[in-house]
A = this chain, B = another copy of it.
Amino acid sequence: MTHVIGVDLGGTKTAAGVVSSSGEVLASETIPTLNRAGGEAILDATAALISGLVERAADAGVTVSGVGVGSAGVIDAAAGTVVSATDAILGWAGTNLAAGLSARVGLPVRAVNDVHAHAIGEAWLGAAAGSSSSLMVAFGTGVGGSFVLGCAPVLGHRFVGGHVGHFASPYATFEGVPLPCVCGSAGHVEAIASGPAIHESYLRFGGSAVDAVDTRGVFALASSSTPDGGAAATASRAAALRAIDLGAGAAGQAVGGLINILDPETVVISGGLADAGGLWWEPMEAALRQELLAPLAQVPVARATLGNTAAIVGAAKLVL
């Protein structure tokens, strides 16, 4: 049996695991991503993480034959380079990710964007296992996705494919003005359906920043059946329910439209919001189903099942 290392390199932490050709994760470790230190320092730290796992594997009699990396940023999967990245990882753009790691660890390295790695993982072993095609959409800090044909994500000509948070949403307006999007445009799905967007909606709807300091707080407030603190707390709770409903509706409508466009065998919903319970899932799925063309009415829509290991096993699949 072949063994490789899968790496999930995100803006705040980097996780890696030894993965067998049947998808079993034998050992894993996580380190903080040195997101202020520049590309070479990140490569050094990631190489050390990988080398530690290679040694642990060797101690157990397991030989590692390659490394797959799912990384934040736009990744040229052919060249193994970081085309562009946000300021979440300073100095990451332009890094020779695959070649730099390969030189450090002495193993072949392939790389892809982390959302695509995540989707490969779910398509291989998770909620879309056995499907000939799948669409994964993740709703969390941002909104991203990947359309996987077979086990190969559609990366796009410039490796930008999968930016499913950046198309227009009728929900993404307030008082007639499109909400600004992190991409620089406005009125996009991500501007209303991401986790932070739900907190922003809550504040716009008159929710108090004291009652809910972040998106998690909005959900806690919405789930509490008897808020303390009288009329103000009741208003905050109403704002929380409205913000979640709006974000979920926008999410479902967006995914429904994507299904009409792509007709995947299976749809996988991932990210923190997918794990937030029925309060988000139910209006999301209702809005999704309402969009669908008649022949697509029975499309399965499943919650991602692999959690944090999805991108590790998906990245590993690149070299298996």
- Taken together as a complex, chains A and B put the C-alpha atoms of A264 and B158 apart, in Å, by 8
For A166, give the chain B residue with the smallest CB separation.
B260
- Taken together as a complex, chains A and B put the C-alpha atoms of A145 and B263 apart, in Å, by 13
- Which B residues lie within 8 Å of A161 (CB)? 261-263
Q: Is A169 an interface residue (CB 8 A)?
A: yes
**Shortest Cβ distance from A202 into chain B, in angstroms?**
22
- Taken together as a complex, chains A and B put the C-alpha atoms of A178 and B291 apart, in Å, by 12
Chain A, 260-286, CB within 8 A of any chain B CB: 260-265
**Contact present for B296 and A162 (CB under 8 Å):** no
- Taken together as a complex, chains A and B put the C-alpha atoms of A168 and B169 apart, in Å, by 7
**Shortest Cβ distance from A172 into chain B, in angstroms?**
8
Q: Is A295 an interface residue (CB 8 A)?
A: yes
Output the residue of A132, A145, A170, A290 with the most chain B CB within 10 A.
A170
Q: A170-B170, A264-B156 are in contact. Are A293 and B257 (CB under 8 A)?
A: no
Q: Is A315 an interface residue (CB 8 A)?
A: no
**Contact present for B160 and A263 (CB under 8 Å):** yes
Q: Is A258 an interface residue (CB 8 A)?
A: yes
A237-260: contact bitstring with B at CB < 8 Å (1 yes, 0 no)? 000000000000000011011101
**Contact present for A167 and B290 (CB under 8 Å):** no
A151-185: contact bitstring with B at CB < 8 Å (1 yes, 0 no)? 00011111111111011111011000010000111
**Shortest Cβ distance from A50 into chain B, in angstroms?**
28
**Contact present for A183 and B257 (CB under 8 Å):** no
Q: Is A149 an interface residue (CB 8 A)?
A: yes
Q: Is A74 an interface residue (CB 8 A)?
A: yes
Q: Is A133 an interface residue (CB 8 A)?
A: yes
**Contact present for B158 and A296 (CB under 8 Å):** yes
Chain A, 271-320, CB within 8 A of any chain B CB: 290-296
Q: Which residue of B169, B183, B295 is within 8 Å of A160 (Cβ)? A: B295
- Which B residues lie within 8 Å of A65 (CB)? none
- Which B residues lie within 8 Å of A263 (CB)? 155-161, 163
Q: Is A84 an interface residue (CB 8 A)?
A: yes
Q: Is A39 an interface residue (CB 8 A)?
A: no
- Taken together as a complex, chains A and B put the C-alpha atoms of A149 and B155 apart, in Å, by 11
**Contact present for B167 and A261 (CB under 8 Å):** yes
Q: Is A83 an interface residue (CB 8 A)?
A: yes
Q: A154-B149, A170-B169, A178-B170 are in contact. Are A260 and B296 (CB under 8 A)?
A: no
For A265, give the chain B residue with the smallest CB separation.
B157
Q: Is A187 an interface residue (CB 8 A)?
A: yes
Q: Identify 11 residue pairs between A and B in the complex whose beta-carbon atoms are under 8 Å apart, listed by A's number.
A: A132-B157, A133-B156, A133-B157, A160-B296, A161-B261, A163-B263, A164-B260, A167-B258, A167-B260, A168-B253, A183-B294
